[in-house]
Amino acid sequence: MKKLDNFSNCLAILATADFKLAETNDIYRTGIIGQFNLTFELAWKALQEILKIHGVDGSSTGSPREILQLGYKTGFLKDSEVWLLMLKKRNTSVHIYNEEDVDEMILLIRDSFIPAFIVLKETLIKKLDEAECDWK
């Protein structure tokens, strides 16, 4: 499935980021934040697509927040706090101007957001396989 593949590929790039290099290289730090934003965008869209495949009411339309809440209600997402924080940070990341906020964002990406993305990817692969088995 294209949306899941795009999310997985984008996550693979983010997950291999050199967070040590990000401590000293401003352009690299900006790149990590940009890659996070892209990964987040692809994550919620892949989630939406697989919710639709499973016939979940309300999954055809909705904002990222609504799709994330739907994912949590249906058990596709486990840690709603991390995902809502991720959404908030994605929305404010274009307005980060001081080093402390950038440092916080980089640490959140490394320590909380990448692990949450990985869990979502595994869940979506499993849910897609379940849907394909139902079709056979």
Which residue range is the domain that position 113 belongs to? 2-135
pLDDT band (50, 70, 90) for residue 135: low
pLDDT on residue 14: 98
What's 61's DSSP letter? Answer: S
What is the domain count for the chain? 1
Give the pLDDT confidence of 53-72 residue by residue, as tens digits.
999 999 998 899 999 999 99
**Contact predicate 45/8, CB 8 Å:** no
Beta carbons within 8 Å of 97's beta carbon, 6+ residues apart: none
CATH number of the structural domain spanning residue 98: 1.20.120.330
Give the pLDDT confidence of 94-133 residue by residue, as tens digits.
888 888 999 999 999 999 999 999 999 999 999 999 887 7
Give the pLDDT confidence of 77-93 residue by residue, as tens digits.
999 999 999 999 999 98
For 23, 28, 78, 93, 130, the CA distances from 99, given in Å and listed in that order, are: 11, 14, 31, 12, 44
| Crossing angle of the two packed helices 80-92 and 114-135, in degrees rounded to 10 | 120
